[in-house]
Amino acid sequence: MIRSATLSPQTTLPSLNDNNRLRLLSGSANTPLAQEVARYLGMDLGPMVRKRFADGELYIQIQESIRGCDVYLLQPTCRPVNDHLMELLIMIDACRRASARQITAVIPYYGYARADRKTAGRESISAKLVANLITQAGASRILAMDLHSAQIQGYFDIPMDHVYGSPILVDYLASKQLHDLVVVSPDVGGVARARAFAKKLNDAPLAIIDKRRQAHNVAEVMNVIGDVAGKTAVLVDDMIDTAGTILEGARLLKQEGARQVYACATHAVFSPPAINRLSSGVFEEVIVTNTIPLPKEYCFPQLTVLSVANLLGETIWRIHEDSSVSSMFR
């Protein structure tokens, strides 16, 4: 069940009519989220034809005039990543050739973000490559949520707005009125994210899991830095992929005396065998957002999905009105 977060807009949203320059279009990656965003903005999704040729090539045509309009294309580049990325690029190109005044790619989940630097010889920095592809396709601006690493913002030579799902996760946790909280980072690289999360939870104490990664999607957990004994531990990460890291972290926290373990992440990638690991009984609750759509077979009793639609809708409106976006997170 998806729960919509409460977000009171700080701007008055007038009714949008045909003469307004704001247009919202959606790719096929997460249409339900796009529909929620459209409802928040009080408008309909723009009509579009999307079909495939016999060999799998994608064809897209915008079904209304967008000449001189500010167009927002909502498309997370989630599984299947290559198909959804290519669809985004074709949508951008179609809007550019239709003489849109400004094209903003709204990417709730930015795929290929984990290869953001060279850690060995002869590697590709695919996060930068994808940024180049989106820019060259004709995007004027980027709106992304919880990038895997903040440095990806610098890969774009066009304006970029980076928003966070943490306010939605924090509000939900605060509503549960949990006691003796400790926020835990699953690795050293996520300390800044966990520290900011802990600050919003009434300056909750912080713990860090020291781990050594042996290979991609394989993590060896070593020890906990900080006191978690007798406390409710909240593991915070930007994404959960195979859930190997977060599961081993939760088991270690239980060994160190944590009373309960909650998992929080913005992006529910959930590659196999993530569902089996997350529903194994180690976690009291797994809290994610709907930046990536989850089919029914991916749901399990401990899973809670929160909606980021209002947050994205408010951000889109502020960008359109040239208002501050950063003030939403102060």
Dihedral of CA atoms 146, 70, 89, 44 in degrees, nearest 10, equals 80
Distance of alpha carbon 25 from alpha carbon 310, whole angstroms: 16
Per-residue pLDDT of the chain (330 residues; tens, 9 = 90+): 566 555 555 555 544 444 479 999 999 999 999 999 999 999 999 999 999 999 999 999 999 999 999 999 999 999 999 999 999 999 999 999 999 999 999 999 999 999 999 989 999 999 999 999 999 999 999 999 999 999 999 999 999 999 999 999 999 999 999 999 999 999 888 899 999 999 999 999 999 998 766 666 665 657 899 999 999 999 999 999 999 989 999 999 999 999 999 999 999 999 999 999 999 999 999 999 999 999 999 999 999 999 999 999 999 999 999 999 999 987
Distance of alpha carbon 77 from alpha carbon 295, whole angstroms: 16
pLDDT of residue 274: 97
Question: What pTM, to 2 d.p., does this model score?
Answer: 0.90
Catalytic, out of 211, 231, 254, 296: 211
pLDDT of residue 15: 47
Q: Which burial class, exposed, middle or buried, applies to 4 when counting CB atoms under 10 A from its CB (0-12, 13-18, 19+)? A: middle
Placement of tokens 């249409």 in the chain: 31
Return the structure tokens found at 38: 């459209």
> How many CB atoms neighbour CB 190 within 10 A?
20
State how far Cα 227 lies from the chain centre.
Answer: 30
Q: Which burial class, exposed, middle or buried, applies to 113 when counting CB atoms under 10 A from its CB (0-12, 13-18, 19+)? A: buried
128 is catalytic: no
Q: What Å distances lie between residue 44 and 35, 95, 207, 208, CA to CA? A: 8, 17, 45, 45
